[in-house]
């Protein structure tokens, strides 16, 4: 199984995923998918232990610039992060 990083800077989309074969099973899965939209960082997928949002906060990115897009818009209202 290969770990792949894909950066599409033209469309501001960034992926970290796995693809390959394990025995006779095809493996593919997204670990992290981030995109930048309307000057906010949308975390679409995050299967890391620490959490990409926590890493962004350590880099002094304000919570109001981070959208936890893996939650539906209504659920985002109950987080400390941006809704959209």
46-68 pLDDT, tens digit per residue, is: 999 999 999 999 999 999 999 99
Per DSSP, 34 falls in state E
Model confidence, pTM = 0.89
- Do 62 and 68 meet the contact criterion of CB atoms below 8 Å apart? no
Query: How far is CA 11 from each of CA 7, 34, 73, rounded to the nearest angstrom?
Result: 9, 11, 22
**What's the pLDDT at 18?**
96
Distance between CA atoms of residues 9 and 26, nearest Å:
28
Length, in residues, of the chain: 84
Q: Is 75 exposed, middle or buried (0-12, 13-18, 19+ CB in 10 A)?
A: exposed
């Amino acid at each position: 199984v290969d770990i792949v990083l894909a950066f599409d800077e033209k469309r501001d989309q960034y992926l970290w995923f796995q693809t390959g074969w394990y025995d006779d099973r095809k493996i593919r899965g997204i670990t992290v998918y981030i995109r930048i939209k309307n000057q906010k960082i949308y975390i679409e997928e995050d299967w890391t232990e620490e959490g990409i949002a926590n890493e962004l906060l350590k880099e002094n990115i304000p919570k109001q610039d981070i959208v936890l897009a893996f939650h539906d818009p209504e659920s985002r209202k109950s987080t400390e992060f941006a809704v959209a």
